[in-house]
């Protein structure tokens, strides 16, 4: 993974991967032996870390990788993990990194319900067991006119949906993030209606570019970036890429979303990146790439027009923004 610009971590703080895995084995063995002999910090139930162990193991190997952001260099890991939006932890860009240690990700399960033949609640380790993972380097463009290039690790949402067999009435997919106001301090204020809700039209959800992501930069997803599983829809504004997903519901009618409910004149259902349709309060024609000086032209569909423009053929994108 040496092709990315990693944060400058002092050599003394780096845990070699082999040592790290040895430590994990020790922790697991300790958990199996029972609590008495162990320091409090090591009291882990054998069930906890079920998905994390398996995922770490898989990320230690090579994954197929695709650069889907042209020749644009990935944003520094440090920038991607310290400057972002995750309103469950507050509205400042620095809040997620400061407070996301409170996000409890293990154990984790995802409920798949509504218009599917095989609904249910599934442990994340079971969801991951049947999926081949890959790395994709995509742009993420925030509605606030900044952008990043991130090496995501995940699998197509379409793979998961197919496994659960959508019915013929499934026209839209609704996603919900975790609701846990005790740990998610932002949820004690009504910034938006919690839990965070987003949605896609079925063909958008089934599009091969739409990714469920469980890691980035070769590592398990950091809490502040939406651990343990989040959506990445590279041709839409960042707010569609919902983090820390606990529920996926297939429905017949076009649903509303947290941002539409909060301000329907500012946030539309489609939220396709479009330099020609301005946000009511600012232009969307240019963007600031985090880590660069100056600004770049924003590309139609965030540069993914060849792949996705046909989904919107014949639609008035000024109306369906």
Ligand X SMILES: Nc1nc2c(c(=O)[nH]1)N[C@H]1C(S)=C(S)[C@@H](COP(=O)(O)O)O[C@H]1N2
Q: Which residues bind ligand X (CB under 6 A)?
A: 84-88, 140, 142, 177, 196, 225, 238-239, 241-244
Cβ 287 to Mo ion shortest distance, Å? 11
CB 308 within 8 A of CB 255: no
Nearer to Mo ion, 21 or 93 (CB): 93
For Mo ion, which is the closer residue by CB, 253 or 265? 265
Count of other CB atoms within 10 angstroms of residue 145: 17
Q: Which is nearer to Mo ion, 158 or 191 (CB)?
A: 191
CB of 146 to ligand X, least distance (A): 8
For position 142 contacting Mo ion by CB under 5 A, the verdict is yes
Extract the tokens encoding 9. Answer: 């971590």
Pick what 177 binds: Mo ion, ligand X, none; C-beta below 5 to 8 Å, kind-dependent. ligand X
Question: What phi-psi label fits residue 258: left (phi over 0), alpha (psi between -120 and 50 degrees) or beta?
Answer: alpha
Nearer to Mo ion by Cβ, of 142 and 161: the residue is 142
Could you say which of 75, 85, 224, 272 contacts Mo ion (CB under 5 A)?
85
Which of Mo ion, ligand X, none sits in contact with 225, Cβ below 5 to 8 A by type?
ligand X
Taking the alpha carbons at both ends of the chain, their separation in whole angstroms is 37
Q: How far is the CB of 13 from Mo ion (least distance, A)?
A: 31
Which helix (DSSP H) or strand (DSSP E) does residue 20 occupy? helix 17-33
Hey, what are 102's tokens? 């409170």
> Strands 286-289, 146-156: parallel, antiparallel or unpaired by DSSP?
parallel
**Closer residue to ligand X, CB minimum distance, 88 or 135:** 88
Compute, in degrees rounded to 10, the torsion defined by CA atoms 285, 286, 287, 291.
170
Q: How far from the centroid of its chain's Cα atoms is residue 23's Cα?
A: 28
Report which of 294, 321, 305, 179 is spatially closest to residue 243, judged by C-alpha positions. Answer: 179
Task: Indicate the length of the chain as a whole number.
Answer: 321
Contact of residue 272 among ligand X, Mo ion, none (CB under 5-8 Å per partner type): none
Task: Specify whether the CB–CB gap between 105 and 223 falls below 8 A.
Answer: yes
Is position 238 an interface residue for Mo ion (rule: CB under 5 A)?
yes
Choose between 31 and 81: whose C-beta lies nearer to ligand X. Answer: 81
DSSP letter assigned to residue 168: T
Q: Which residues pair with 120 in a beta bridge?
A: 112
CB of 142 to Mo ion, least distance (A): 3
Residue 257 near Mo ion by CB under 5 A: no
Residue 223 binding target from ligand X, Mo ion, none, CB below 5 to 8 Å by type: none
Minimum CB separation of residue 139 from Mo ion in Å reads 13
Cβ closer to ligand X: 241 or 274?
Answer: 241
CB of 202 to ligand X, least distance (A): 21
Q: Answer with the entry of Mo ion, ligand X, none that 147 interacts with (C-beta below 5 to 8 A by kind).
A: none
Neighbours of 285 (CB within 10 A): 14
- Smallest gap from Cβ 121 to ligand X, in A, equals 19
Angle at 192 between CA 188 and CA 195, to 5 degrees: 70
* Contact residues for Mo ion, defined by CB under 5 A: 85, 142, 238-239
């Amino acid at each position: 993974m040496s092709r990315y610009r990693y944060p400058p971590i002092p050599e003394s703080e780096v845990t070699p991967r082999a040592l790290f895995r040895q430590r994990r084995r020790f922790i697991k063995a300790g958990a199996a032996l029972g609590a008495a002999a162990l320091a409090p910090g090591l009291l882990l139930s054998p069930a906890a870390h079920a998905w994390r162990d398996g995922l770490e193991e898989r990320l230690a190997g090579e994954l197929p990788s695709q650069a889907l952001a042209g020749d644009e260099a990935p944003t520094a890991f440090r920038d991607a993990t310290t400057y972002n939006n995750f309103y469950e932890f507050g509205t400042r860009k620095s809040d997620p990194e400061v407070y996301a240690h409170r996000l409890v990700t293990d154990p984790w399960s995802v409920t798949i319900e509504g218009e599917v033949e095989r609904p249910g609640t599934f442990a994340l380790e079971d969801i991951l067991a049947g999926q081949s993972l890959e790395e994709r380097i995509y742009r993420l463009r925030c509605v606030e006119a900044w952008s990043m290039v991130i090496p995501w690790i995940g699998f197509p949402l379409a793979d998961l949906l197919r496994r659960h067999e959508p019915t013929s009435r499934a026209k839209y997919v609704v996603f919900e993030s975790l609701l846990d106001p005790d740990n998610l301090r932002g949820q004690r204020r009504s910034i938006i209606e919690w839990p965070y809700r987003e949605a896609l039209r079925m063909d958008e959800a089934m599009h091969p570019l739409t990714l469920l992501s469980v890691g980035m930069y070769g590592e398990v997803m950091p809490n502040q970036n939406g651990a343990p599983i989040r959506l990445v829809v590279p041709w839409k504004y960042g707010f569609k890429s919902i983090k820390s997903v606990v529920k996926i519901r297939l429905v017949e009618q076009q649903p509303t979303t947290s941002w539409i409910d909060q301000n329907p004149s500012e946030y539309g259902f489609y939220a396709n990146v479009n330099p020609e349709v301005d946000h009511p309060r600012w232009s969307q024609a240019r963007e600031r790439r985090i880590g660069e000086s100056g600004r770049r032209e924003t590309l139609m569909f965030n540069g993914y027009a060849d792949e996705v423009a046909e989904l919107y053929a014949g639609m008035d994108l000024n109306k369906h923004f």
